[in-house]
Amino acid sequence: MRATIAALISAAVIAPAAAQTATPGVDKRQANQEARIQQGVQSGSLTPKEAAKLEKGQAKVQAKEDKAKADGVVTAKERAKLAKAQKKQSKKIYKEKHDKQVAPKAS
């Protein structure tokens, strides 16, 4: 009986904490942007240098997400900062994919 009560109490404490650090929207957008970069590389619309620069930007956004999660709670302000960083990165991906530079074709 005591074990059951202890399990329920710990579940009630742990579940909300886990929910506060979960960022499924951020994770989904990160994956989508990664896929956009890979598609650009495959289609030749991104040069290797552009792709490396965009990957570095993605890593910075991931680092911001990790920092936001570090204290166990992702606040609304932190979520807004993450969304802003992702929007900025998305614009960079679009700009690089639609510029005049193309990857050299393999011969």
Say what the pLDDT of residue 8 is: 58
Q: Is the model's pLDDT at 26 over the cut of 60?
A: yes
Say what the pLDDT of residue 107 is: 64
Q: Stretch 69-79: mean pLDDT, rounded?
A: 94
**CB-neighbour burial class of residue 69 (10 A; exposed 0-12, middle 13-18, buried 19+):** middle
Inside any domain, residue 106: no
Phi–psi pair at 73, nearest 5 degrees: -140, 130
Say what the pLDDT of residue 74 is: 94
Inside any domain, residue 104: no
Inside any domain, residue 102: no
Q: Which domain holds residue 90?
A: 2-97
Inside any domain, residue 103: no
Inside any domain, residue 12: yes
* The total number of residues written for the chain in this structure: 107
Q: Is the model's pLDDT at 12 over the cut of 60?
A: no
Tokens 């005049």 sit on residue: 100
Distance, in Å, from the CA atom of 32 to the CA atom of 41, rounded to the nearest integer, reads 14
Inside any domain, residue 19: yes
- Structural domains of the chain, count: 1
Q: Is the model's pLDDT at 33 over the cut of 60?
A: yes
